Chain A
Amino acid sequence: MREGLNGKDWEGLKERFPGVEVTEGIDMVTLWVPVDQLLEVMRVLKEDYGFNFLADLTGVDVPPEEAIILVYHLMSVPSARETRVKVKLPRTEPRAPSLVRLWPAAEVQEREAFDLLGIIFEGHPNLKRILCPDDFQGHPLRKDFTLSKVSDLSQHGGDGSSYPGAEAPVGVQQKGGEVDES
């Protein structure tokens, strides 16, 4: 098992997967992996590099880049080394292979990423909403999903009539609306 703590130890991985980029973050090494190599890279990280534990799975919506970044945090148990794996997906149709076969822990976390960000995980056994109601429209953690008044409630499962909860709390705006820190 190799150490894989700084950039140098990743040369072998970069040789095997030419598409992989290695960058140093504030807290840990970040590997950028092309989506078509993701499954294989993850398998190698798990089996050869000792990152046997899926610590976290989430995503970040970046509209200026027209991208959704899929973010995995892996950990080695019991030595507690950490690494971050990022995958850039097109915002219009973010699709990635499911990791449920490697880590069953991915099952609920992929459902969450699907629910809140709209990332489709191919090969997931039961990809449906998990936190939002089944008839919910949209993906709340997308940046264009605003916390303002919903004009057409029918698209959110309502009957179109106004209800008090449709109004966002005072001071909550998606853009602008600076909050004074005092």
Chain B
Amino acid sequence: MNPNTSLVTEEITLNMGPQHPSTHGVYRAVLTLDGEKVVGVENVIGYLHRGIEKLAEDRTYTQFIPYTDRLDYLAAMLNNLGYVQAVEKLMGIEVPERAEYLRIIMAELSRIASHYVMLASMALDLSGWTAWFIPFRDRERILDLFEMVCGSRLTLSYMRIGGVAADVPPEFVPALKSFLAELPRGLEEFNGLITNNEIFKARCQGVGRIDLETALAYGITGPNLRACGLPFDLRKVKPYGIYDRFDFEVPIRHNGDTYDRFVIRVLEIEQSARIIEQALRDLPEGPVMAKVPRVIKPPQGEVYHQIEGAKGILGFYVVSDGSPKPYRVHIHSPSFVNLGAFPVMAKGGTIQDAVAILASIDIVLGEVDR
């Protein structure tokens, strides 16, 4: 406001969503605006709530796997992995070596695919139309790889309690190798077009900053936390599965702004590719399923298992009463908690900043609403 004029403005309320391209799904932000400035944000979610946790109580442990695909549907393998590892922990099941390596390959491919969508859609939200095509062109190849191993492209249900559903077909490894060989070129193209683009930088740098302390207090995890300067990645600090066998770095950025949250995804794609290369090199022969009982009946007890998902730390809290159906399954979804910090990041910016910030948090409504 110009202090020299006596112009009085009135705050208005604007609904962004539930049908709005930049909300990436059915989500509504109630913005309180003073002119173009955002002075208040209220998240309204739940449009996609399907009661997955309630449905789990009526399914067997194995039958619940397809439901996990529908949480973060851009990284289904990671959801599968988190859930089956939780049940395996509860039952003390050892997974065969080959299955462990295949899981790592699939999980990291899922992470790359999810980050590609984030990069593409954030650039698109900032009117970078061309930028949409490069990540999606490359992501398509990952979906083709998934189709080879399990027949599905999005809702994969590839992992099982005790291993994976099937071994990979012979054409999978060469296809994956050729994808990995061409991945850096795609990223280079994308970086030249968007990441190092002056206009894009001007829109993002210094926008929606959050410091490390606030980020931790709000429970932010994953790339969004690492963009604030803390190399906290469960694959490194508390390795699950066989992540301790791989040599990779945890990239960090220091400003905690929208641009850093974007760049960190590019860097993470490179590291995920490194992990896949090593897993492919060491991939042993052997069975892909452990010997598990036909009816999965974990002993009475409870377990909380966390993995590093594409959006942050994904946790599964599974309670068993000794029957073939879980007594309670709780899913700690990173998108849900990260979105809770959106009002803090968006306050004080403009409407167009809010769009950029929301895209940079990278939410998936399937996971937010469950």
Contacts and interface: CB of A to CB of B under 8 A. Distances in A.
B337 A73 contact: no
Contact of A82 (B58, B230, B302, B304): B304
B358 to A, nearest CB: 16
Where chain B touches its partner, the secondary structure class is mixed
Contacts, number: 117
A178 B58 CA distance: 9
Given A56-B317, A147-B54, A80 B332 contact: no
B296 A78 contact: no
Query: Number of contact residues on A: which range applies?
Result: 35 or more
Interface string A167-182: 0000011100111011
Given A27-B303, A78-B232, A56 B294 contact: no
B81 interface: no
Interface string A48-68: 000011111010110000000
Contacts of A61: 328
A133 interface: yes
B370 A77 contact: no
B254 interface: no
Contact of B58 (A56, A129, A173): A173
Query: Number of contact residues on B: which range applies?
Result: 35 or more
Contacts of A182: 294
B58 A172 contact: yes
B216 A52 contact: yes
Contact of A103 (B59, B217, B332): B217
Given A84-B304, A131-B49, A141 B315 contact: no
Interface in B42-72: 43, 45-46, 49, 51, 53-55, 58-60, 62-63
Given A109-B337, A172-B55, 9 more contacts: A53-B216, A56-B315, A77-B232, A104-B340, A108-B339, A145-B54, A147-B58, A177-B58, A181-B324
Interface of B: 43, 45-46, 49, 51, 53-55, 58-60, 62-63, 89-90, 216-219, 230-232, 234, 237-238, 294-296, 301-306, 313, 315, 317, 319, 324-325, 327-328, 330, 332, 336-337, 339-341, 369-370
